[in-house]
A and B are shown apart, each in its own frame.
Chain A
Amino acid sequence: MKLSASLSETNKYFKDLFSDQSDFMSKQLNLDGSEFELFYFNTLIDSELVQNYILKPLMSRPHAPIHDVVAILDYTETESLQEAVHAIMYGKTVLQRSGEAKLYLLGTDVKKERSINIPTNERVLRGANEAFIENLDTNLNLMRKLINSTDFVVKTFTIGRLSQTKVAMMYIKTIADMASVEEVDRRLRSIDIDYLDAPGEVDELIQENKYSLFPQTLTTERPDRARANLMEGKVVVATAGSPDVVILPVSFWSFFQSEDDYQNGFLLGSIFRVLRLCCFFIAMGLPALYVTVSGFNPQMLPLNFVNTLQSSLKYVTFPPFVEALSMMLLLEILREATIRLASPVGQTIGVVGGIVVGTVVVQSNLVSNTMVITAALTGLASFVMPSYEMSSSARLLSYPALLLSAVFGLFGLAFFFIIICTHLCSINTLGLSYYKPPFSLSDAKDTLFRAPTWSLTKRPKATAPSNRTRMRNPRGWKR
C-alpha cells in the first residue's frame, strides 16, 4: 500500500495491521494548527525520551521542519509503510505530519540490559574480567574498544523470518583469509529459518561435518579470547540475545588454548598446555584402560599392583565394565544435576554425590576403590579443557572406548584411537583441515606448547591468514 498524506489513512493502516496488539498506541496532536500523529508500542519505547525529545520540542516549534526540531540521533525518513512497520517492531516511534507523505522513524527504544559481568563459564586467573552479554550492541562495543583499528570490520545481517535476529560477523580485513570470510558470509546469508537460537544453531547450521562429535566452532563468552582469535585471522559471529560468540574456522588445538597461557611465562604456559592435552586423553581413555587392564591384560601390570587391584576388586560382584559404566553414568548425572540445581542447593550435590555416594558405594562393595579413583580422575581431567564443548565430547567418547575395550581389550582401545585419529584428520572447517599434527616447529609453537611470546613472530598457518607477520621486532630494546 502506498503511503498517503492523510493521517487518518495511515492510522487506519496501522490499526488494521496491529488490531490484536493491545500495546500498540497511536497519539494525535494538534499543535497550533499543525497536526501530528505518533505510532509506537508502549512496551518497547522509552516514554521519557518521547516526552522530552520529541513532544516538548514539537510543542515549542510546531511549524519548523521535523529534522530541526526533534532531538534524537537515530532519525530516518521514509515513504515506505513496510519499513515503518519494521521500525515500530524494533521500538522506534513513527511520526507523521498531516499533509506530508513521509514518515519519520525516531529511535526511542528502551535500553534494558544487564550490566557487564565477569565470565562465569570460562574462568582464568590472569586476564580480563569482562564477559559478553545478551545485547549485541554492547558486545560490539566491547569488541570495538578492544580493537581500535579501521581494519576491524563488523558486518550485520538479519536472520530469522519471524525473529529478525541481528547477527554480526567480525573480522580483521588485513589479517583474515578473505576466502573464509566470504564463505562464512555466504553460509550465514543462506540460513532460512523462523528464529535463530544462538550460538548452538548458528554453530550447527554452518559447520561442514554434521555428524561429528567434535566441536568445529569455538564458543566463547570472553571478549579477549575473541580478540586473540580475530588476530589470528579468524571470523567471529555474534548473535543478538546470546552472551556467547562463535569463532571459526578453528583447529583442534584452539580448544586447548586458554588466555592464562599467555599471561604466565611461556614455560608455565607450555606445561599447562601439555597437561590439558594429556587430560584430553585421560578423559577419553582412562576408564577404558582400567577395564582392559583389570579384565583383559592384567599381565601388563607389575605383580604388586595386581595384588592391590585384586584386593580392591575381591568383593565386587560386577565385572569391571559394569563398574566403570555405572560410575561414569553417576559422574554424568552429578554434572547434569549441578548445572540444573538452584545455586543455594548446589552444595548439597557435592556432599550427597561426592561424599555419600562415593563412600557408600565402595563400602557396600558395589564398586571398587580403584574404579572410584578412575571415575573421579576422568571427570576432573575432562573439566580441565577450557572449552566445555571439547570436554563434553572427550567424556562422551569415553563410552565407545569403554565398550570397545571391554569387548576387545587393548586392541579395541587401539582401534578406537585409530578411528578417532582418522576422523580428526578427515574433518574440514571452511575448507581447511581441522586437525593437523604439529610437525614442524612453527606448527607446534602455539599448539603442543606455548612458545615464548617473542618467538611467535608468525601467525599460525592453520587458519590461512592473508598476513602472517604478527610482530616485527618484539624485543627492540635490545638493540
Chain B
Amino acid sequence: MKEDAITGRQLFILIFMTQLGLEVMSLPHAQADIAGHDMWLSVFLGGLCAQAGIMLIWWLGSRYPARNYFAYVPQIVGRPVGAFVNLLYGLYYALSGLMLIMNYADVLNRWLFVFTPRWILILMIFIACGYAASLSLRRIAYIAQSYLVLSIIGILLIVGCCLYGPDVKNLLPILSGGWNPVVKGIYYAFSGYVGYDLLLYAFPYVKAKSKNRLLLIMTFANMTTILYYVLSCLICTTMFSLKQLKYIPEPIVFILKYYQLEVLQSLDVVFLIFYVFIVSDTAYIYFFLSAKAFVHLRSKGFGKHQVWVWAMVGLAFIGSLFFKKRSTIMNFSNMQDIGSVIMIIGVPAVLLIIAGLRGAGRNRA
C-alpha cells in the first residue's frame, strides 16, 4: 500500500499524541516510591533520554531516507533475521496496545465504571482502535489532530485545579537522597515517552524541508511531552505529600475530583472521558505499527494491512480476557517496559552499528 505523505505539523501532533499515554496519571504514583519528590527531575531526564533515542532513530532513518524501518531492516541484517526482527516488532506493538488498553480499562473500572464488566469497555476501545488503525498514516494524523484539543483541555484542567493549595515546600530539599533515586526513576519515566518510535515508520513519509528540520520537529514534540509530564508531576508533588502519593494510584484524578465548577460537579469524569480519546489515539497507532511490521515480513508485502490490524486487535482482545488480577497487568506492564527499552533503543542501536560497519566496509572496498 502506498502511503500518503504527512506534513511536519502532522508529525509533531502524531508524535506528541502517541507519547501522551496513561503515564500522566500513573507516573506520580509510580515515581513516589522511587525518585520521591524529585520525580520531576527524573521525568525531565527521562525526556532527555527519549531525545537521545530520537537522535538514534533519526540517524538510522536518514541513512535510508526512501524506505520505512520495517522495509530496510532486512536490508541491514539479511532477510531471515530481518523478518524475525519485524515479527518481534509486530508482537511488541500489539502487546503495547493491549497493555495500554488494559491499564486504562483498569483505571476506568476503579474510578468511573465500577460495575461495568471490563471486557465490554475493552472491546469498545478495541473496535475503535481497529477501525482507526486500518486507515492510512495521513488519515491517522487527521484523527490525532482532531483529538489534540482534548489534550490541551486536559492540561488546562490540571493546571487550573492547582491554582489553590500547591505547597512548593514539598519539593524541597532537592536531591535529598542524592542522584541515585533520580537516576533509577529515569527508567520508569522513560516508559512515558515511548511513542516517538513512530518515527521509525514515519520517517520517509514526512514532507519536511530537510532532515535537520525533521529532527527539529521531533525535538519540539518531545519537549512538549516533557513539559506536559513535568507539569503534571510538579503539580502532584506540590499538592500531595509523598505518603499520600504512595497510596493514590492516579493523583491527578484525585485532584480533579476535589474541585468543582458551578455547572459541573466532578471534573474528574470529564477528564477521564477525554482520556478515552487520547488513550485510543495512542493505542491505534500501536496497532497500526504492529500491522505494518507484519506486512513487511516479506519484502513484497505479506497480506493486507487491514487484515493484520483486525487480526492483531482480535488476538489482543482474546488475550485481554486472560487478565483477571491487577497484579498480572502490572507484571505484564513491567515486561512491556523492558521490551520497549530493548525494541526502541536497543535494536535500533544495534542496527545502526551493523549498518555503520557495513557502510564503512563498503566504502573501503
Contacts and interface: CB of A to CB of B under 8 A. Distances in A.
B128 interface: yes
A259 B81 CA distance: 62
A408 B116 contact: yes
A333 B138 CA distance: 41
A440 interface: yes
A415 B124 contact: yes
A322 interface: no
Contact of B143 (A411, A413, A414, A422): A422
Interface in A73-120: none
Nearest to B13: A439
A436 interface: yes
Interface string A410-436: 111111011101110110000001011
A412 to B, nearest CB: 8
A303 interface: yes
Interface stretch (A37-45, A131-139, A293-301): A293-301
Contact of B264 (A300, A417, A436): A300
Interface string B271-288: 001001100100000000
Contacts of B273: 410-411, 413-414
B9 interface: yes
B108 interface: yes
B269 A302 contact: no
A299 B266 contact: yes
B264 A418 contact: no
B260 interface: yes
B265 interface: yes
B3 interface: no
A435 B266 CA distance: 33
A425 B10 CA distance: 14
Interface residues of A, number: 29
Contacts of B228: none
B145 interface: yes
B7 to A, nearest CB: 9
Contacts of B135: 422, 425-426
Contacts of B263: 302, 305
Contacts of B108: 411
Contacts of A440: 9
B265 A414 contact: no
Given A439-B9, A440-B9, A425 B128 contact: no
Contacts of B260: 302
B276 A408 contact: no
Given A299-B265, A300-B266, A411-B121, A433 B276 contact: no
A408 B115 CA distance: 11
A300 B270 contact: yes
A408 B265 contact: no
A303 B265 contact: yes
Contacts, number: 86
A419 B112 CA distance: 21
Interface of B is mostly: helix
Given A411-B108, A433-B139, A439-B145, A422 B264 contact: no
B131 A433 contact: no
Interface in A430-477: 433, 435-437, 439-440
Residue among B125, B132, B140 having the largest count of chain A Cβ atoms under 10 Å: B132
Contacts of A426: 135, 139
A426 B270 CA distance: 27
Interface string B182-219: 00000000000000000000000000000000000000
B146 A300 contact: no
Interface residues of B, number: 37
Interface string A137-158: 0000000000000000000000
Interface of A is mostly: helix
B277 A411 contact: no
Nearest to B142: A425
A223 interface: no
Residue among B10, B128, B264 having the largest count of chain A Cβ atoms under 10 Å: B128
A419 B265 CA distance: 27
Interface in B232-276: 260-266, 269-270, 273, 276
A301 B277 contact: no
Given A433-B139, A437-B145, A422 B121 contact: no
Contacts of B280: 418
Contacts of B116: 408-409, 411
Contacts of A414: 273, 276-277
Given A302-B264, A302-B265, A422-B128, A433 B113 contact: no
B101 to A, nearest CB: 13
A376 B13 CA distance: 38
Nearest to A302: B265
B120 interface: yes
Contacts of B143: 421-422, 425
Contacts of B146: 421, 425, 437
A313 B280 CA distance: 35
Interface in A25-82: none
A437 B140 CA distance: 11
A437 B276 CA distance: 19
A271 B135 CA distance: 34
Contacts of A299: 265-266, 269
Nearest to B135: A426
Interface in B84-133: 108, 112-113, 116, 120-121, 124-125, 127-128, 131-132
Contacts of A411: 108, 112-113, 116, 121, 124, 273, 276
Contacts of A301: 264-265
B78 to A, nearest CB: 37
A300 B273 CA distance: 12
B297 to A, nearest CB: 26
B278 to A, nearest CB: 11
B146 to A, nearest CB: 5
Contacts of B121: 411
14 contacts: A297-B269, A299-B265, A300-B266, A301-B264, A302-B264, A408-B124, A410-B273, A411-B108, A411-B116, A415-B127, A419-B131, A425-B132, A435-B142, A437-B146
Interface of A: 297, 299-303, 305, 408-415, 417-419, 421-423, 425-426, 433, 435-437, 439-440
Interface of B: 9-10, 13, 108, 112-113, 116, 120-121, 124-125, 127-128, 131-132, 135, 138-140, 142-143, 145-147, 260-266, 269-270, 273, 276-277, 280
Given A302-B261, A440-B9, 14 more contacts: A300-B269, A301-B265, A408-B124, A409-B113, A409-B116, A410-B112, A411-B113, A411-B116, A414-B273, A418-B276, A419-B127, A419-B131, A421-B143, A437-B145
